[in-house]
Structure 1
Amino acid sequence: MTDREIALPPGWNPSDAGAKAPLSGEETADILFQLLLDVVRQQYPQVADVLAGDSVAKDGKVSDFSPELLSRVFQVHGIWFQLLAIVEQHAAMRLRRLIERERGPDAVQGTFANLISEAARLGVGAPELSDKLASMRIRPVITAHPTEAKRVTVLEKHRRIYRLLVDLEQTRWTERERASLIDQLRDEIELLWMTGELRLEKPSVDQEVAWGLHFFHETLFEGVPELLKKLDRALHQFYPGDTFALTPVFQFGSWIGGDRDGNPFVTNTVTRRALTENALASMRHYEQRILILQQRMSITERALPPPEAFRAVLARTLAEIGDGEAIAHRNPGEPYRQFLSCMLRKLRAAIANTEQGNWNKTAASYSNADELIADLSVLEEALTAGGSGELASRLIRPLRWTVEVFRFRTVRLDLRENSTRLTETLQSLWKATSGQERDPPKPDSEEWKAWIIAELARPRQGDRELNLSPEAQETLGMFKLAQDPREEFDREAFGSFILSMTRSAADILGAYLVAKEAGLFRDAAGVEACTLPIVPLFETITDLRAAPGIMRELLSVPVVRRSARGLGGLQEVMIGYSDSNKDGGFLSSNWELAKAQNRLTKVGSESGIGIAFFHGRGGSVSRGGSPTAQAIAAQPAGSIRGRFRVTEQGEVVSFKYANRGTAAYQMEVLATGVFQHALMSEREHALTPSAEFDEAMEALSGASHAAYAGLIGHPGLLAYFQAASPLEEISLLNIGSRPARRFGARSLSDLRAIPWVFAWAQNRHVITGWYGVGSGIASFLDVRKERGAALLQRMFKESRLFRLVIGEVEKTMCLVDLDIAREYAGLVTDEEAREGVFSLIEAEFKLTRDMVLRVSQDGEIAERFPRYRSLLQHRLPTINKVSREQVELLRGFRACPTELEKEAYKSNLLLSINCIASGLGATG
């Protein structure tokens, strides 16, 4: 394979793999590459030659291959990209361990030890630290956005390969044992090779729920208590003698099964099933853990006499459980094991009730997670009082933390719908209740808003029969699911209701009204406060600019203020990175997001209701997927305050959470980033507001937006985009249950941001991560000349936001290949559209390159990111070949007059999309 910089050892043989230990990252890659080569060579020698860089691969053409061989070429390249990603994760983990061994845990960036040691050095007092911890709430939210091109069965094989690499680096193995590990690696690679890369059918929402829960079973149920243990250890190390009460600061949310926005397959029945599966996942995990504890806790009362208080609780529990005598007889003289047996019996009864949908509240069954937490606390306190505090802290406390975090729900499920559908529900409600024959007032009218406010003030009529449309009944039913989850599910089973496409305060108040009709207000009259958080989502540039005014108006409404105070004194606002980028371009999007956060934070301060932000990020740079620590550090000072929600989408979930070591580090990086921002942001010079910098960003953003708008508004752009990219063909990939468009229209405005980004990446234009930046800088310099250049160079050094933007632009530009982009452009039959659009892109790319280098004062693009450049050097030559093959496949596929003939191209075309996505490391 010609793009590999890692050379295979001369005469290397799999049986020699254990000769050197521990293995370096390069040696690990060599082993996996040779094993893959051996596996492929057995069945397809020609494909192996292509992988090795021999034979036909020398001229970069495989067009003469049969469709079967071509599919295997795409597959083997895709597998190698996946194996490289595993090696890189493993190497990064090893590097962090090496630093910790040699310099201590506080030397590893992004860890609690590093942060807490820095806080102690700066003189941050224990009371302040404790206050910040008490208010800290971090919640990554796993979404079902269709950006994961890998099947769960493939992810499971990746996990086993990663674990084998961890085993292989150990120095204790004999040569025979190492050879056995290599054989196991080869088996997994062979199974990966024989596993279908493409889903034959679109996944159902139920399958997406199972996909999301897969990561909890693999890494997260164990990872979160380990995270809290690291925090606890760091606090005790650097603040000895001080006491800190750890709360469940880190939890997970989910949209899978609750996100209706544009997905007709998410129904109330599906949501109820998702809630059940979420509950069962956590409860079954606790069952396994308690079973292990029961087997281990063979402590006799003679060896450790239990406290009298524990004896009383045990006696009462044995009496209530139903067969307490049998339990006591089976484990005589072992009170702790008896208590755990009772706990196990009660938990299994709760699991059975949940499976049957029969929440039978008896003493023989846990009716909620609080009861299980209470029993674990009893056990922990008894062991501690008896003199085995260390045993309690190592065996019982982590499980208590786990239950406190995941409860009987695993995740907090958000409900989401767009304002168009919600307005239609309200219009149906208006027709059913107003007693008027005329049509409802227009949604943007004062009459409409006045009707909503009046209805919110009117006492609720109870559960009344209304003649609503089927769609309105479904929406109302969605809210009713959250009416009282404690009756059937965990009290924290739901997170919030997200209203996408929020355009006005009336939109948000309308959500309150539907919630009221569903019985979600605290008081019987339904006029005091809503129990379900209502969260507006501002997505486009226009929406972000309007958000402060909308929220100022909203927070002046008494029912909203009472609801916010009842839910912790905060009003959450979600901001969208994807659609704002699609709407205004990369630079403008980042600046408008920063401005919106600053202004909304001020609105919250002025109203007395704090604003907390929910960041709607994606995996790619274009959708806010910047490095976690840097992205958080660049947020406006005071905008986080320990409250941070962020979406984790598609391939980001598998990248972060598929492997235990990586998952532990990613969670810690997120948690420390939020904690550090809460502690330090208002003390840091780098985040101190600068009128000079803000003025410059406003000018850069305006010019950049204008250039981007010129491209988006080009009359031939839609035709160009559809022809010069696999936009329509991406929809044939069965990578998500949700359609690519919200309402089925055929325009750029209704196209979702994910396929927008996905397709521009596939055709190597990648305009979503850089277009307009060059024009923005050039316009600024045209006006301010050398003085402006000096200012931008200073901003590059001193402004975290500006430096982050420029850095991510540079990384994105490394993915652009104008020669390949021109080949995709050749698919556009309209010459005027082709030349008009491509010439704009070509000129802007060259301008952006020149302007970015003038700002960074580097010699070449991404010079500051040698590791990133090295990573691409391993990938781009192969991606380039696959891209060129994809162009020909698109041409052939589209030229076929019948669906039957298209089938000959379809599989390879989709495999090429998968392969490029694997190589780039992201889809949308």
Structure 2
Amino acid sequence: MPLRDLNDAEETAASIESADALSRSELLRAALMEVVERHEPDVARALRGEAPHRAMSTRLLARTLQAQAIWFQLLSIAEQNRDMRRRREVERQRGHAEVLGTFAHVFRLAADQGLGAAAVRDALVQLRVRPVITAHPTEARRVTVLERHRRIYLRLYDLESPRWTLREREDLQRAVRDEIELLWLTGELKLDKPTVDQEVEWGLYFFEETLFDAVPALYARIEQAWQRQFPGEPLELPAVFAFGSWIGGDRDGNPFVTPEVTRRALDRLRRAALERYQARLGDLARQLCVSERVLPLGEAFRAAVAAALAASGRGEALAARNPGEPFRQFIGCMRLRLAATLAADERDDPPGPDAYAGADALLADLAAMQQALAEAGAQPLAQSFVAPLEREVRCFRFATARLDIRENSQRIRATLAEVWQCLRPGTALPAADSPAWKDWLLTELAAPKRAGGAWDDLAALSPAARETFETFRVVAEARRRGDRDAVGSLILSMTHCAADVLGVYLLAKHAGLFHDATATERCVLPVVPLLETLPDLRRAPALLKELLEVPLVQRSLRLSGGVQEVMIGYSDSNKDGGYFSANWELYKAQAALTRLGERAGVRIAFFHGRGGSVSRGGAPTGRAIAALPAGSIRGGFRVTDQGEVVSAKYANRGTAHYQVELLAASVLQHVLMSEREAALAPCHAFDEAMEAISGVACTAYRQLVERPELLAYLQGSSPLEELAGLNIGSRPARRGAARSLADLRAIPWVFAWTQNRHLLPGWYGLGSGLEAFVQVRKARGLALLQRMFEECRLFRTVIDEVEKTLLAVDLDIARAFAGLVPDRAVGDSVFAAVEAEYRRTCAMVLEVTDAGEIAERFPQHRRRLARRLQTMNQVSREQVQLLQRLRAGGDDEVRTALLLSIGCAAAGLGATG
């Protein structure tokens, strides 16, 4: 597919406007102004530009900032509604196969390129797509606020219908205004820092509102599109799509994720799925009021109903309640079994014979109903009523989402170091990357597990080490309960060498996570190295080659179908080397690991640790996947959805359904076509240019971040230290007590640069890299870059996202923030470097793209930003003043106003960290 066709769906659909494209935002703004006028007339005057902010009291300024934040949120809701209407309009005018991001479109493209049904089916049934919801602290909105947004969106959806009378439309508009009034009266700020348990409930909100329905609908759309494109060709879909979660399992730097918290998270996720199925079976019982006198049923199903009634202990009552209605009787037995499963969970007992041992048993009962209806000639009823629930159970099983455990390699090494001292008191501890340490790990892994000894008696270990080991035992408990879908993988952050991964295997062995009695054969817990820094990405092939040569690892991978998952981190690699270099190193690592897997006979599956902002890997879904190395999606695809990205994608039903299909269809398109596309074909000249640009860009970036005064600059020129007051996550902003840039997490790093309108992590260094390349190679170098822009998918994607970022940078506002730095020399010096690199980057990007202005290829994005820019700039200037006042001894009113300005700016830019 040509690069010019790979703009996201929003840009591609921009030419198809509904007649009332702006009426939604006009309606919402009018309703907001009416509410504000009634409650705070002075705020309304400020919003209309009739009264200057500087003349307002701090309380009224805070209310004005709240109103501006609400307006940004309402505008986003209107735009989501507009985008959905555009996609429908494309489908109405051109057909479903013309809607980008759909399976209908991918199937049509595949057929156009000569791929037959068999090739597409083979790729489709091997598809494994897993978005993973995390509680990374980038969501500045409360769940209460999200619920209000959801209801406003639904009212806008209702208003799309032409069937309403004038009176009914006025009622709907009044309902919108009422929701906005409740939003105005709802506090924007979280008064307390959320607990991990509350974060679990935040994640479940999206499942209960949209995602439990979105995945079954996805399967239905796949099957419909398949039959239209390949009529008569069979298709048996496995569970190609499911969700993961880190909420309650991410221990990396979060002291509040204890083993007990993880245990509660697992229990809550399981209960959510079981309660959902109870409700859905209740709905199904009301729908399937099928009389056996009208629809004769086969003997097999009759026998199944009789057996279920007999085993239920309440067979006579169920039969009497629904006489002659075997489906209702059968469903009643199923609901009793689910109730028994829930009751066993409450008692913390394993499921008994009257309960479901796992999701497979429930699926078997649903399959029996589908088969009975099909055999009786009522296949459409099976497809319409039973199949959606069967798809739901296949996806969510008894877990809702598979919970990953994330732990830092330092914690694993520290725990094993204490075990070493217990086993070998008085001997020197080898270095973590030494042959001696690896030899000890391999020796312990090969030794049969014996009862007693230091591994069973943990009293000698420190509380931190015991807690780390206990987490593994929680995973083992979940699996012993028959909940093999409850836990996904152990993600090992900051993996530096193969021994780090082997250490995880050793802890898993002694926690009961090996498949055999002697604990020497296979580990049932997949271990996923997370490569985050540029040095770790560069040594990834050597690290993985060493790991895959270990027989225990080879045996363990057979349990997962010969797939080794590797997670790659976009945030820390960007913070480490800058935007351009991080993207290039990530690309090279994926390509190299894919080739390594082919040689080793192992499929490498990549887990992409992306955030919402461009600098943390955020990009339009379809374009980001299309730019991955050809053939790199082999054994599945996972990606993190974090913070505000979760609510943007999944808070509303229509958007959620589209985003789920967009992700899965984009992955399938890459699998089918990436190795056929010229834009992804290896090109030595392009690779050489990328390497040269990356080297200079990384040097320029490192020269800035290694300046000893940069932390002081960032602290002074942004609300970095004040961000903690937003209470947007349970995890601390820093990894420890140190106060260095290295210790600062990637999220607050990006958040701070976004608030002060530098947006530095999304572009800094690229201008130097491009300029140096052209200076050395002259006109031929510029011509090559322009050719790369047209023909190289990765380079084009990076330039596109940099341009969008540059458009949001405001040097005048950034200069005002820089003026807050106490040491004027530091502020002036660092800002001068930023300003010079910004101008250099803009100039070089315009040369490469041969454009007249930044981001002129993205008119929809420019319009979206323009609708916000005047208010955003005003908010940013207010934030500068509020920071000055707070740091000069401002009171709680000033602090509240500042925090509202931070949330408002985040809402306007559409991203926090």
TM range (shorter): over 0.9
Identity of aligned residues (%): 57
CA deviation map 1:849-868 (0-9, x unaligned): 10000000000000000000
Write the deviation string for residues 673-731 of structure 1: whole angstroms up to 9, x where unpaired. Answer: 10000111111111111111000000010010011011111121111111011111111
Q: Which amino acid aligns with 1:465?
A: D
Equivalence for 2:174 = 183
Equivalent residue for 1:391?
Answer: 381
SS in 1 for 2:55: coil
Which residue of 333, 339, 345 corresponds with 1:348?
Answer: 339
Alignment equivalent of 1:416, drawn from 406, 429, 439? 406
Please give the secondary structure, in 2, of the residue aligned with 1:444.
Answer: coil
Structure 2: how far apart are the matches of 1:923 and 1:298?
51
* 1:29 and 2:25 matched: yes
Q: 1:43-82 maps to which residues of 2 (within 5 A)?
A: 43-53=39-49, 55-56=50-51, 61-82=52-73
Shift of 1:22: 8.5
Q: In 1, distance between residues paired with 2:482 and 2:195?
A: 23
Matched, 1:154 2:154: no
Query: What displacement does 1:355 show?
Result: 3.0
Output the CA distance in 2 between the equivalents of 1:283 and 1:360.
13
1:449 to 409, 415, 438: 438
**1:409-558 maps to which residues of 2 (within 5 A)?**
409-434=399-424, 436-462=425-451, 464-466=456-458, 467-488=460-481, 490-558=483-551
Q: Which deviations, in whole Å up to 9, do the C-alpha atoms of 1:381-406 show, x marking residues without a partner?
A: 00000000011011001110100100
Q: Secondary structure at the match of 1:625?
A: coil
1:561 aligns with 2:554: yes
Instruction: Tell me by how many angstroms 1:442 deviates.
Output: 2.4
Q: Structure 1, residues 817-856: CA drift from partner, whole Å, max 9, x if none?
A: 0111111111112122112211100000000010000000
State the distance in 2 between where 1:219 and 1:888 align: 41
| Deviation of 1:360 (Å) | 3.3
Q: For 1:170 and 1:819, how far apart are their aligned partners in 2?
A: 45
Counterpart amino acid of residue 392 in structure 1: A
CA distance in 1, matches of 2:351, 2:697: 61
CA distances 1:759-780 after superposition (whole Å, capped 9, x unpaired): 0000000100110010000000
TM-score for both structures, normalised by structure 2: 0.97
1:641 Cα offset (Å): 2.7
User: CA–CA distance in 2 between the matches of 1:744 and 1:649?
Assistant: 25
Quote the residue 1:845 is aligned against.
838
Tell me which of 104, 108, 132 is aligned to 1:113.
104
Q: Which letter maps to 1:498?
A: I
Say whether the 8 Å CA contact 1:25–1:87 is kept in structure 2: no
Q: Distance in 1 between matches of 2:714 and 2:652?
A: 37
Residue in structure 2 matched with residue 370 of structure 1 by the alignment: 360
Tell whether the 8 Å contact from 2:18 to 2:86 is kept in structure 1 after alignment.
no
Aligned with residue 636 of structure 2, among 636, 640, 643: 643
Indicate conservation of the 8 Å contact 2:603/2:634, yes or no.
Answer: no
CA distance 1:119–1:642, shift in 2 (3 Å): farther
Give 1:809's aligned residue: 802
Residue range with higher mean Cα deviation, 365-374 or 670-679: 365-374
| Distance apart, 1:283 and its partner CA | 1.0
Deviations 1:395-441 (A, max 9, x none): 0011101001000100000001101111111011112222x223422
Report the residue type matching 1:310 in the other structure.
F
| Deviation at residue 489 of structure 1 after TM alignment | 5.5
- Contact kept, 8 Å, 1:409 with 1:489, in 2: the verdict is no
Structure 2 counterpart of 1:855, one-letter code: V
- Residues of 1 paired with 2:411 and 2:405: CA distance? 13
* Structure 2 segments unaligned to the other structure (5+ residues): 1-16
AA matched with 2:771: A
Q: For 1:144, which of 135, 142, 165 is the aligned residue?
A: 135
Query: C-alpha separation between the residues in 2 aligned to 1:593 and 1:511?
Result: 24
TM-fit CA distance, 1:301: 0.7
Name the counterpart of 1:381. 371
State the AA in 2 paired with 1:329.
A
Tell me if the contact between 1:138 and 1:642 (Cα under 8 Å) persists in the aligned partners.
Answer: no
Q: How big is the shift at 1:891?
A: 1.1
Q: Do 1:22 and 1:171's aligned partners in 2 also have CA atoms closer than 8 Å? A: no
Relative to 1, partners in 2 of residues 1:674 and 1:462: Cα closer, same or farther, differing over 3 Å? farther
- Give the CA deviation at 1:120: 1.9
Asked if 1 retains the 8 angstrom alpha-carbon contact of 2:758 and 2:811, the reply is yes
Post-superposition shift, 1:921? 0.4
- Structure 1 residue 336: deviation in Å? 1.1
- 2 CA distance for matches of 1:905 and 1:304? 71
* Structure 1 SS opposite 2:188: coil
Q: Letter of the 1:854 partner, please give it.
A: E
2:683 is matched with which residue: 690, 709, 723?
A: 690
- For residues 341 and 213 of structure 2, the distance between their equivalents in structure 1, rounded to whole angstroms, comes to 22
- Specify whether residues 549 and 486 from structure 1 end up closer, same or farther in structure 2 by C-alpha distance, changes over 3 A only: closer
Partner SS for 1:482: helix
Partner residue in 1 for 2:7: none
Q: Please give the residue correspondences for 1:254-273 in structure 2 after superposition, counting only pairs within 5 Å.
A: 254-273=245-264
Supply the distance in 2 between the matched residues of 1:23 and 1:38 (Cα, whole angstroms).
25
Cα shift at 1:902: 3.6
Structure 2 Cα separation of the partners of residues 557 and 902 of structure 1: 61
The aligned counterpart of 1:894 is 887
Structure 1 residue ranges, 4+ long, deviating more than 3 angstroms after superposition: none
Does the residue aligned with 2:154 lie in a helix, a strand or coil? Answer: helix
Q: How many angstroms does 1:642 deviate by?
A: 5.9
Can you list the C-alpha shifts for 1:743-800, whole angstroms capped at 9, x where unaligned? 2211000110000000000000010011001000000001100000000000000011
RMSD: 1.2
- Residue 904 of structure 1, CA deviation: 3.2
The answer to whether the 8 A contact 1:276-1:355 is kept is no
> Offset of 1:87 from its aligned partner?
0.3
Q: In the alignment, which of 859, 872, 893 is matched to residue 866 of structure 1?
A: 859
For residue 728 of structure 1, give the secondary structure of its aligned residue in structure 2. Answer: coil
SS of match in other structure, 2:768: helix
Q: How does 1:73-92 map to 2 (within 5 A)?
A: 73-92=64-83
How many residue pairs were aligned?
893
> Which AA in structure 2 matches 1:202?
K
Alignment partner of 1:328 is 2:328: no
1:40 matches 2:31:
no
Q: Which moved more, 1:29-38 or 1:519-528?
A: 519-528
* Aligned partners of 2:604 and 2:635 also within 8 Å: no
Equivalent residue letter for 1:444: D
In 1, the alpha carbon distance for the partners of 2:618 and 2:345 equals 37
Quote the Cα distance in structure 1 between the aligned partners of 2:606 and 2:799: 24
2:615 to 610, 622, 628: 622
Query: Which of residues 402, 427, 440 in structure 1 aligns to 2:392?
Result: 402
CA distance in 1, matches of 2:420, 2:351: 39
1:232 counterpart = 2:228: no
**Which amino acid is 2:259 matched to?**
N
Aligned to 1:731, the other structure's residue is in SS state helix
Q: Is the 8 A contact 2:256 2:731 kept in 1?
A: yes
Residue pair 2:627, 2:793 contacting (<8 A) in 1 also: yes
